[in-house]
């Protein structure tokens, strides 16, 4: 039996149970993003991966291990509500491969392996929970999520939306009528409330834990009844519905239909932002930094223009009081940085828009935990929560760019990174 356990440990190093492991983390400060406050000289007690107590003079006798972060600021792990773990559009000689070419040239096996790498990279950067928002081949992200849950691979807690549900053609354009519907590896065509309901059921059957629609990527867009059908059907299974919409009527219909989030929303005007605030629709803005827009000039021919628009919309959303959850949406490897580092680049857009540091931190933690419906277990440093922690050298409530200096990551009580 012992031999078997040893073998299991060698083969599946992440599957080692944390049984009865008691850990004490000495924290210089513990940050509470929900209130925007920090408490000095704290001890966090962790047992079997969960936090059991937090306080100043806790008794650490009897713990198996004391972790010294007494010179650091400790906070809940970061969350990203818009990632594509199994999609990477290579940038070749300044020209990105168009999506159809990508679908035809990449096997789902290779995309699963890419997902393994991206899952590890985002976790090491400090993202302990992410939502894979589709473009995942034939439900590859379901397998990726299950591999993390089984302890086969290292990665964050994953929610996954499965195939993106959209009006005919998904997000492709100009595929010949003589060609097969190659988009069906990524998208489900659904062109009436009944078809949307069926698509939602299909996704749930194949392991989706959230639902994503694309509302306005074509000349035609979803109406209120179609989006409401998705919201109603998803609600039966307790799932949320995210809707890709830039602005205009597609976004308005999504908000009125009760969608839980608008993804991107780059052209949302004040009227729609106010409507979002009124209805409680979350904005997952995917607010690319200028450096990324410039590097993706093949998609964004006027990088300065779209960046200015992004900053303006982010500033207005903040001023109007729209609830915001952080989402990145990186799909092109740029500048020799991995997915996790690229996601943290987005902080510069939030700073440029004048959003205060505590509010930005909330978008990365508290707001996302509530939006992703994991707040009873993740997103705070409190008894009963999983010990998903990161640490920075300085105070993120004053300097949010400290999040780029994360050197310590703990996931469910296990040290992921400590240099
Ligand atoms: Zn996206």
pLDDT in tens, 177-208: 888 888 888 999 999 999 999 999 999 999 99
pLDDT of residue 297: 78
Find the 152 Cα to ligand 1 centroid distance in Å: 26
What is the total residue count of the chain? 419
Find the 320 Cα to ligand 1 centroid distance in Å: 24
Find the 122 Cα to ligand 1 centroid distance in Å: 16
Helix spans in 126-220 (H):
140-149, 193-205
User: In the structure encoding, which two tokens stand for residue 106, read together?
Assistant: 């990449």
Ligand 1 ion local residues (Cβ < 5 A): 329
Residue 165's closest CA among 213, 130, 220? 213
Find the 267 Cα to ligand 1 centroid distance in Å: 16
pLDDT of residue 10: 44
Identify any residues that bridge with 245 across adjacent strands, giving them in sequence order: 264
Residue 7 confidence class, pLDDT cut points 50, 70, 90:
very low
Average pLDDT for 62-68: 94
Calculate what percentage of the chain has a pLDDT beyond 90: 79
User: In the structure encoding, which two tokens stand for residue 3, read together?
Assistant: 């031999």
pLDDT at residue 8 above 50? no
| Domain boundaries 2-76+379-417, CATH class | mainly beta
Average pLDDT for 135-151: 96
Element (H, E) at 254: helix 248-256
Helix spans in 126-223 (H):
140-149, 193-205
Tell me whether residue 336 is exposed, middle or buried, using C-beta atoms within 10 angstroms of its C-beta: 0 to 12, 13 to 18, 19 or more: exposed
Whole-angstrom distance, CA of residue 261 vs CA of residue 331: 20
Find the 83 Cα to ligand 1 centroid distance in Å: 7
Phi, then psi, of 102 in degrees rounded to 5: -60, -50
pLDDT of residue 92: 56
pLDDT of residue 84: 96
Helix (H, G, I), strand (E, B) or coil at 188: strand
Average pLDDT for 33-49: 97
Q: Which CATH architecture has domain 78-345?
A: Alpha-Beta Barrel (3.20)
Find the 133 Cα to ligand 1 centroid distance in Å: 6
User: In the structure encoding, which two tokens stand for residue 69, read together?
Assistant: 């972060």
All CATH 3.20.20.140 domain ranges in the chain, comma separated: 78-345
The per-residue pLDDT for range 216-273, each reduced to its tens digit, is: 878 889 999 999 999 999 999 999 999 999 999 999 999 999 999 999 999 999 999 9
The per-residue pLDDT for range 82-99, each reduced to its tens digit, is: 999 999 876 654 455 667
All CATH 2.30.40.10 domain ranges in the chain, comma separated: 2-76+379-417
Phi, then psi, of 81 in degrees rounded to 5: -90, 5
Average pLDDT of the chain is: 91
The per-residue pLDDT for range 99-140, each reduced to its tens digit, is: 777 777 888 999 999 999 999 999 999 999 999 999 998 999
pLDDT of residue 88: 83
Find the 128 Cα to ligand 1 centroid distance in Å: 19
pLDDT of residue 42: 98
Find the 329 Cα to ligand 1 centroid distance in Å: 5
Find the 82 Cα to ligand 1 centroid distance in Å: 6
pLDDT of residue 16: 45
Whole-angstrom distance, CA of residue 217 vs CA of residue 214: 7
374-410: buried (b, 16+ CB within 10 Å) or exposed (e) per residue? Answer: bbebbbbbeeebbbbbbbbeeebbeebbbbebbebbb
pLDDT of residue 219: 83
Whole-angstrom distance, CA of residue 231 vs CA of residue 221: 16
Find the 134 Cα to ligand 1 centroid distance in Å: 8
Whole-angstrom distance, CA of residue 233 vs CA of residue 207: 15
What is the DSSP code (8-state) at residue 129?
E
The per-residue pLDDT for range 297-340, each reduced to its tens digit, is: 777 889 999 999 999 999 999 999 999 999 999 887 776 789 99
Residue 4 confidence class, pLDDT cut points 50, 70, 90:
very low
Q: For residues 291 and 74, which has the higher predicted lDDT (pLDDT)?
A: 74
Element (H, E) at 189: strand 187-189
Q: How many CB atoms lie under 10 A from the CB of residue 161?
A: 25
pLDDT of residue 98: 67
Element (H, E) at 294: helix 290-295
């Amino acid at each position: 039996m012992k031999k078997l356990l040893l073998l299991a440990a060698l083969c599946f190093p992440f599957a080692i149970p944390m049984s009865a492991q008691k850990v004490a983390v000495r924290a210089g400060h513990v940050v509470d993003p929900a209130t925007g406050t920090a408490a000095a000289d704290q001890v966090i007690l962790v047992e079997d991966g969960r936090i059991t107590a937090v306080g100043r003079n806790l008794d650490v006798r009897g713990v198996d291990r004391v972790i010294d972060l007494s010179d650091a600021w400790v906070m809940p792990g970061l969350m990203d509500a818009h990632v594509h773990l199994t999609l990477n559009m290579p940038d070749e000689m300044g020209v990105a491969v168009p999506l159809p070419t990508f679908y035809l040239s990449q096997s789902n096996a290779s995309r699963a392996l890419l997902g393994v790498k991206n899952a590890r990279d985002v976790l090491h950067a400090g993202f302990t929970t992410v939502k894979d928002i589709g473009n995942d081949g034939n439900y590859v992200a379901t397998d990726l999520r299950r591999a993390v849950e089984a302890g086969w691979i290292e990665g964050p807690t994953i929610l996954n939306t499965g195939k993106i549900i959209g009006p005919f053609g998904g997000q492709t354009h100009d595929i010949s009528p003589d060609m097969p519907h190659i988009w069906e590896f990524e998208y489900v065509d659904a062109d009436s409330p009944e078809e949307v309901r069926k698509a939602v059921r299909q996704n749930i059957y194949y392991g989706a834990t959230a639902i994503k629609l694309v509302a306005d990527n074509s000349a035609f867009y979803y109406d209120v009844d179609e989006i409401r059908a998705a919201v109603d059907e998803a609600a039966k299974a307790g799932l949320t519905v995210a809707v890709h919409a830039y602005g205009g009527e597609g976004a308005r219909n999504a908000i009125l239909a009760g969608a839980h989030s608008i993804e991107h929303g780059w052209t949302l005007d004040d009227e729609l932002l106010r409507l979002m605030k009124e209805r409680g629709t979350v904005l997952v803005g995917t607010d690319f930094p200028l450096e990324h827009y410039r590097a993706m000039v093949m998609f964004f021919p006027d990088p300065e223009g779209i960046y200015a628009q992004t900053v303006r919309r982010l500033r207005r959303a903040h001023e109007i009081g729209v609830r915001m959850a952080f989402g990145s949406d990186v799909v092109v490897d740029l500048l020799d940085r991995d997915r996790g580092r690229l996601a943290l680049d987005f902080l510069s857009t939030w700073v440029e828009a004048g959003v205060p540091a505590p509010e930005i931190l909330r978008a990365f933690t508290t707001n996302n935990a509530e939006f992703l419906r994991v707040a009873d277990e993740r997103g705070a440093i409190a008894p009963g929560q999983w010990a998903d922690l990161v640490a920075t050298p300085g105070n993120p409530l004053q300097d949010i760019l400290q999040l780029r200096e994360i050197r310590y990551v703990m996931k469910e009580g296990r040290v992921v990174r400590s240099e």
